[in-house]
Structure 1
């Protein structure tokens, strides 16, 4: 080992100690998570929830578009029908251990029933606990769109009533009347 190698090694050690000393007295970047809130961007996609319409009914009409749009296939549901002709999911299941929170299910939903919230605390001890059923996903409020009611806007025929004749339903628009 030459004197030059010793001086280079010594210089490297001194430089390393100097950098450690500089960083030791600077403000820390670590956030103390439970005590300090975490900043989430406005479009953060977190926990998936099922919402209700302003009347308190489920918004989901079990159209299965969310399950088809999901790239990993973590959504499964079964359609059933009320006496008045409205569809609803008999069961609705999301496996959050497979979900990649891409938001495609929210975009595909025609009734805005599926919405992604800014909640990210979903840690569980067992993998089976990450499979959420409809009761776990359904919230009591309308979510991001409080005034939207799919059956009012869609003009669907329900239980022997023609389009636009159901209670509190808008009449269908004739698009030919809109032409000049």
Structure 2
């Protein structure tokens, strides 16, 4: 294992960083944590204390001060709350939000039970052609090339794809 040329030893960093440091020390699953620094690029093994998921991540991605990485399984399954849910997101997004909230027709999960970035495959009903289909909530809400109705926008004919006419 490499510690890198400089950097605070991982266990020392954990001891200085309160509850966050204690949690990371408890999630750490390597045999020799004393040989690693907090800023190391080494991909260590971690085990989430909440969901028990085991994964590998670089030391520096877990200990950095801004936007540190956590359990990837929990990140995709973050529960919706009163302020962080699909309906609340729609209310902040103007016309797009109004359109998506009208098209969300899933009876299994209400729009307040999923987040705008959820991987849940919700049921949608097109406001133009009334076609119903399932797709991930995240695919409808992404800022770059969100998906739409597959009947109104068949693959290869979306507004981002320009077809070239053949010149003989």
Q: Give the alignment's TM-score, normalised by structure 1.
A: 0.22
Q: Give the alignment's TM-score, normalised by structure 2.
A: 0.23
